A and B are shown apart, each in its own frame.
Chain A
Amino acid sequence: MKPFNYMRATNLHEAIGLLAHHTPNVCLLAGGTDLLIEWRRPSACTPENVIDISALTEMKGIESGNGRIVLKPLTTHAQILKSQAIIESAPLLSVAATVIGSPQIRNRGTVGGNIMNAAACADTVPPLIALNAEVVLQSESERRTLPLHELFLKPYETVARPDEILCEIRFEKLPVKARSSFIKLGRRNALSISRLSVAAVVARDEAGVITNARIVPGATFPRWRRVVEAEKLLVGEKASAELFRAAGDTVSELMIAETGHRWSTEYKEPVIAVLVQRALEQCCR
């Protein structure tokens, strides 16, 4: 690892001040599970200044109340998967946290780091977008809130400026009647970085008619998004295998339209369609 100047922030205010002072040759360090690997690569460009935010207690924890969840960015995947509030009001996020890395990675890796690293395979992102999550970015000069899906430009790139810190992730709890699911396809259970995944939410009325549907595939589109085109097919209909197959096919067609044909397309095209179908079926069991 190349040398750098290390600073430990003791509170959020101090972290923001240090960021402003050292921008743009600066990097925030949370759990380090992405960064330490990056910094050890022979070709890595390590930052001149590292601000360690891992000790900021005000940036840890899950708050639940008034129909909303506020997730602090330094909350670890292990804390998310054990949280009763998340299990009850956003079970798909709980599932995603469970399948990340290994116990050791989940004990260190944070949801904020997962989001800000912005890898196409970040597992908490599809569920959070399906939850219509918003993120709060703070700098010395402003505090702004944006929908999570607007944060990302492309893999490993966000709209956040180098002097901004992610300080909150929040979303409305899913309605009691809504069902949700997250399916990740990996090579094996532990330590498989997600290649394809799907987060889905489906709500139905008493008659079984779908009133709300959300579909967010991971590692599929150049930018994460809800696939409104497929969601529209579902609303107003009753759950059926044909309906879900049509939704899966729509996602698959859009993927090809937006990413073009790649070496992996032959594999991804049928697989993403089936994953969408299964994710929707899980919501309607």
Chain B
Amino acid sequence: MLQMNTLTITTTINRRNYTLCINPNQTLLDILREELGLSGTKRGCEIGECGACTVLMNGRAVNACLVLAPQIEGQEILTVEGLAVGEQLHSLQEAFLEHEAVHCGFCTPGMLLSAKELLDENPNPPETDIRFAISGNLCRCTGYVQIVEAIQAASANKPERKP
């Protein structure tokens, strides 16, 4: 039986530095949910298809189920728990609430982070770019319309709200 080496890694999660002792065959998703109790990041398909586990790694949306834990050494991770600053919700979170883009909520953390990558890069995305940016996030409840509206509302060029 092969003896597995445990590893000590340093990483930044939600702007906080961590030194973690991990097993190399864990994923980033395991670390977040099981080791750190950050259960906002969801465990869905675990084959990269649903996007429920989406987090930002150095500002880019990635599937936490497909990142091997030791690969976060020296990287900056942002999860849904790190979106709000103190009591102040992120503008995307506010918009998701206002536009009723959260139904069961399982897809929401991943959606928010995919949307954040987009808005950080282009604060004024056209609707096609919004749909492209969330194409790796499945939602079984909303039919996506409210989610797209919420992201539009959170972007710099808020469309006029229909009366």
Contact = CB atoms under 8 A, between A and B. Distances in A.
A162 B42 CA distance: 36
A102 B135 contact: yes
A104 interface: yes
A37 B135 contact: no
Contact of A33 (B2, B26, B51, B66): B66
B2 A37 contact: no
A107 B133 CA distance: 12
B62 A2 contact: no
A39 B62 CA distance: 18
A5 B71 contact: no
A241 interface: no
Interface in A1-57: 1-6, 8, 29, 31-33, 36-37, 39-40, 48, 50, 52, 54-55
Interface in B2-43: 2, 4-5, 7, 23-27
Contacts of B46: 40
A5 B63 CA distance: 23
B42 to A, nearest CB: 14
B39 to A, nearest CB: 20
Contacts of B7: 6
A189 B134 CA distance: 12
Given A52-B71, A104-B54, A190 B66 contact: no
Interface string B33-70: 00000000000001111010010010011110111101
A2 B70 CA distance: 15
A122 B156 CA distance: 38
Interface residues of B, number: 35
Interface string A43-78: 000001010101100000000000000000000001
Contacts of A4: 2, 4, 24-25
Best-surrounded residue of A4, A39, A105 (most CB of chain B within 10 A): A105
Given A4-B2, A6-B5, A190-B135, A104 B114 contact: yes
A6 B66 contact: no
A108 interface: yes
A8 to B, nearest CB: 6
A191 interface: yes
A155 interface: no
Contacts of B76: none
Contacts of B25: 1-4, 6, 39
A32 B66 contact: yes
Contact of B63 (A48, A50, A108): A108
Nearest to A82: B121
A40 B7 CA distance: 20
A77 B48 CA distance: 15
A147 interface: no
A201 to B, nearest CB: 26
A108 B25 CA distance: 18
A52 B67 contact: no
B68 A32 contact: yes
Best-surrounded residue of B46, B57, B71 (most CB of chain A within 10 A): B71
Contacts of A55: 73-74
Contacts of B73: 8, 55
11 contacts: A3-B2, A4-B4, A4-B25, A5-B2, A29-B68, A32-B66, A103-B135, A103-B136, A104-B54, A104-B114, A189-B135
| 8 closest A-B pairs by CB | A102-B136, A6-B24, A190-B135, A3-B4, A1-B25, A107-B60, A104-B136, A104-B63
Interface of A: 1-6, 8, 29, 31-33, 36-37, 39-40, 48, 50, 52, 54-55, 78, 101-105, 107-108, 189-191
Given A36-B65, A104-B114, 17 more contacts: A3-B4, A3-B24, A3-B25, A4-B4, A5-B5, A6-B5, A8-B70, A33-B66, A78-B60, A103-B136, A104-B51, A104-B63, A105-B66, A107-B57, A107-B61, A108-B62, A108-B63
